[in-house]
Structure 1
Amino acid sequence: MKKKIIFGSIGVALIAVLAWFGAKNSKSPIEFETEKPFKTNIVRKTVATGKVVPLEEAEIKPKVSGIIEEIFVEEGAVVKVGDLIATIRVVPNVGSLNSAQGSVKTAQLRFDNTKTLFERNKGLFEKGVISKQEFESAELNYNSARQDLSNSQNNLDIIKKGSAAGMGKTANTYVKAEIAGTILEIPVRRGTQVIESNTFNAGTTIATIADMTKMIFEGKVDEAEVGKIKNGTVLEVSLGAIEKKKYLAKLNFIAPKGTEENGAVQFKIKGDVTLDNQFFVRAGYSANADIVLEKKDSVLSIKEALLQFDKKTEAPFVEVKVGDQKFERRDVELGISDGVNVEIIKGVTLKDEIKIWNKASKKEEEEEKG
């Protein structure tokens, strides 16, 4: 009798357990949350990396070769056109010096000879022995010889000293600012040997000057995006050295030819940066420019994370709620995206509830944790 009671109790317990499991399995194993579409503004941007540099920058080079004798400014100094930057002490070339000295001697001999002839002809003219024409010819030769002697002496002085008498601060030994601005760099020091700029040599840079009130952004954009921008596009420039500050810039140059970098073709762009007096922007600051490629206001949108893609066709779709934890597939046509929200052109309405397919309900999560 006791055995029957025990077996009967076990049977009842088994039936109860099986009934509980059946009830549990009849429910959906996961309860999904949903979200509704909404209207928002979507801006699609790209970022160009680069730096800010002065619009006008000039390298000051010497007009004669020699040794830096004195430097009168420091880096960071503000100069005007014509301000003296440095002076040069000329080290004459032996061959040029010898040739110039020979020219002076030749000119001196010619001058002495024409002077003697001029003084003799002058006396004869005054006595009426020679004509006025002969006298004027002798006078012309004398004046010409005197000028040649003066020129050859000046040329000798320039070769020896870099300047001639009467030139003052216009001499080639004086290095002056050719544009107004700030001295960015002085790569030479007193005693440095410098070479003049000529057809065959770029010359030694004595100073670099730039107008720091006019800055431009220089950066690069990918070939996939360069066709979507144009001159006049507004950029938002962020500087690495200045936090929480953005400067507006207007695009004014897009390179006609790209350069390949790490397997991708990049195109150089430039834009005029609008500065203010809040911060001093230094040349060469690293910068990023946000470029608006496309913008739409108040468009029907969903979060991009709600999208699913067909494994065969890769066509986008969402699952729309049609009942209690029941969903149907809806193919959608997409517009622009900002990486978070995406425009829905066709497929859903504002009233639809879209399945969050990659997130279980909070209740389900709590049960799993329990």
Structure 2
Amino acid sequence: MKFEQKLFLSLIFSLTLYSCTNKKESTTPETKNITESVYATGFIKAKNQYEVFGQTTGVIEKIFVQEGAHVKKGAPLFQIDNKNFKIATDNAKLVSFAADYTRNKDKLLDAEKTIDLAKKNLIYDSLQFQRQKNLWSKNIGSKLQYEQKELNYQRSKAEYIKAKTNYNDLKRQLKLASGQSKNNLEIAQLKEDDFVVKSEINGLVYQINKEEGEINRGEKPVAIIGTEDFIIELSIDEKDIVKIKKGQQVIIRMDSYKSQVFEAKVISIEPMMNIRTRSFQAEAIFTNKPTKLFPNLSLEANIIIQTKQNALTIPRKYIINDTYVMLEGGQLQKVETGLMDYELVEIISGIDKSTKIQLP
């Protein structure tokens, strides 16, 4: 009898314990403000920030700037050793000087004198030939004399034509040599300019990656330059990109300012997705910014899609497949949802404030 009583009490205790441990969490909808947003990660970068690369391979001979220095557009940053190219440039200068068209006009003057002389000979031989031709028509003189005068005339005519042709050829060759030598000098100077790495913008030198004496191979940036203004680069998942528009408010949190929240707005969205990360890039600017910023500071962001006041909401963990909730007793109830954030979901229809639902 005592054994049966103990067994009965143990069973009652077990049933009570089972009932207590299987009691599911429940709640009722509440009226709250809800904000739908898209999560994004990102980092801070200087406006117009770019990586500086040397165009040629060689030893870095001179560094003209320091980290933190302000630079003007076109200001020299690095000098790469270019002794061989400097010699080539000097040679090109000499050739260009020697081949300059204006410095070779004496050659054209000589050619013009040759033309004048040939013209005088042609006039003289032409008159002699005409005189001999008139005499020959009157049977005066010999045929040999006539033919000799005609031959002299034809020879002078050919010499005159040749002198003019030589002049034109010489003029064209001088112009060609002058133009080519100037082009070769310009090419040599451009190549020499490649050995001086210059700033592309007015900005600030944020980082220098090389030291004097190191070799530049053009594979890695030698410096990073940007302006003193900062922008936010955001990475947005492809499933959220259709919700993003220019002008949307962005809430920013940074590890560097853990206790503070900053605001920004979206200014641009890149139309091409990054295949590797399956994400899109967007840029934002601060509308209220920290007192001090540095490039490459990491951040987390929430891009505000829309906000609704006094919405009927339930915790997101109570929604099933974005369509159903579970009533007390386990029955499923279909609902129409609206805005969602990371904790709440708006209920448009299907249940009201008095409906008790349980955690599925």
Q: TM-score, normalised by structure 2?
A: 0.59
Matching residue's letter, 1:56: N
Aligned match for 2:275, one of 259, 267, 277 = 259
Partners of 2:175 and 2:359 in 1: CA distance: 102
Partners of 1:76 and 1:98 in 2: CA distance: 34
Matching residue's letter, 2:204: T
Aligned match for 2:286, one of 262, 274, 281 = 274
Partners of 2:60 and 2:330 in 1: CA distance: 83
Aligned to 1:349: 352
Aligned to 2:66: 74
Partners of 2:177 and 2:82 in 1: CA distance: 24
Aligned match for 2:41, one of 49, 54, 57 = 49
Structure 1 runs not aligned, ≥5 long = 1-9, 164-170, 196-201, 320-326, 359-370
Q: Equivalent pairs: percent with the same residue?
A: 20
1:42-63, Cα deviation, whole Å (9 max, x unpaired): 2233311232223412344557
Partners of 2:268 and 2:314 in 1: CA distance: 36
Partners of 1:328 and 1:117 in 2: CA distance: 108
Aligned match for 2:84, one of 92, 96, 120 = 92
* 1:152 positional shift: 5.8
8 Å Cα contact 2:243-2:305 kept in structure 1: yes
Matching residue's letter, 2:326: F
Check 1:204–1:157 CA distance in 2 against 1; reply closer, same or farther (3 A cut).
farther
* 1:157 positional shift: 11
Partners of 2:265 and 2:291 in 1: CA distance: 16
8 Å Cα contact 2:326-2:357 kept in structure 1: no
Matching residue's letter, 2:223: A
Aligned to 1:232: 247
Structure with greater proportional strand content = 1
Matching residue's letter, 1:274: F
1:1-370 equivalences under 5 Å are: 35-61=27-53, 66-92=58-84, 97=88, 100=91, 104=95, 107=98, 174-194=196-216, 205-223=221-239, 225-243=240-258, 244-257=260-273, 259-261=275-277, 266-274=278-286, 278-304=290-316, 307=318, 315-319=324-328, 331-335=333-337, 336-350=339-353, 352=354, 354=356
1:155-175, Cα deviation, whole Å (9 max, x unpaired): 789969987xxxxxxx66544
The CA RMSD over aligned residues, in Å, is: 5.4
Report which stretch shifted further, 277-286 or 54-63. Answer: 54-63
Matching residue's letter, 1:74: Q
8 Å Cα contact 2:315-2:345 kept in structure 1: yes
Matching residue's letter, 1:44: E
